């Protein structure tokens, strides 16, 4: 989907002084806010920004001071997955 955003030229110039690629900055801000509010998953952020891995998403979030949405249920699932993986390792 394409979205057209109109802002006054003087504001755009101020914003471009900080981030020359203003359209990319807007997409990143939208992705960050969507993730922060729980509207977007890590995978959706990855897809939206064209990142290649989950680790790149984590780095992007960290760089922008957005904590991971990682619940106790996520931890429990990761522990179960690790246990299954360990069971399959050759002894």
73 part of a folded domain? yes
Taking only the tens place, the pLDDT of each residue in 44-72 is 999 999 999 989 999 999 999 999 988 88
Residue 46 lies in a domain: yes
In a domain? residue 28: yes
Q: Which domain holds residue 73?
A: 9-88
1 belongs to a structural domain: no
Q: How confident is the model at residue 17 (pLDDT cuts 50, 70, 90)?
A: confident
Reported as half-sphere exposure (CB side, CA atoms, 13 A), residue 24 has a value of 8
Write the CA distances from 52 to 31, 76, 85, integer angstroms.
15, 26, 24
Q: Write the CB contacts of 27 (distance below 8 Å, at least 6 apart in sequence).
A: 48, 49
Count of structural domains, the chain = 1
Mean pLDDT, rounded, of the chain: 91
How much is the pTM?
0.77
Residue 91 has pLDDT above 80, yes or no: no
DSSP 65: T
Give the residue-averaged pLDDT of 68-89.
Answer: 88
Residue 3 lies in a domain: no
Domain contains 53: yes
Residue 66 lies in a domain: yes
């Amino acid at each position: 989907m394409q979205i057209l955003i109109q802002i006054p030229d003087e504001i755009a110039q101020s914003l471009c002084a900080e981030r020359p690629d203003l359209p990319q900055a807007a997409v990143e801000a939208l992705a960050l806010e969507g993730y922060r509010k729980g509207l977007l998953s890590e995978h959706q952020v990855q897809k939206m920004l064209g990142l290649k891995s989950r680790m790149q998403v984590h780095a992007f979030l960290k760089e922008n001071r957005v904590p991971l949405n990682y619940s106790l249920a996520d931890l429990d699932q990761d522990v179960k997955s690790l246990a299954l993986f360990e069971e399959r390792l050759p002894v």
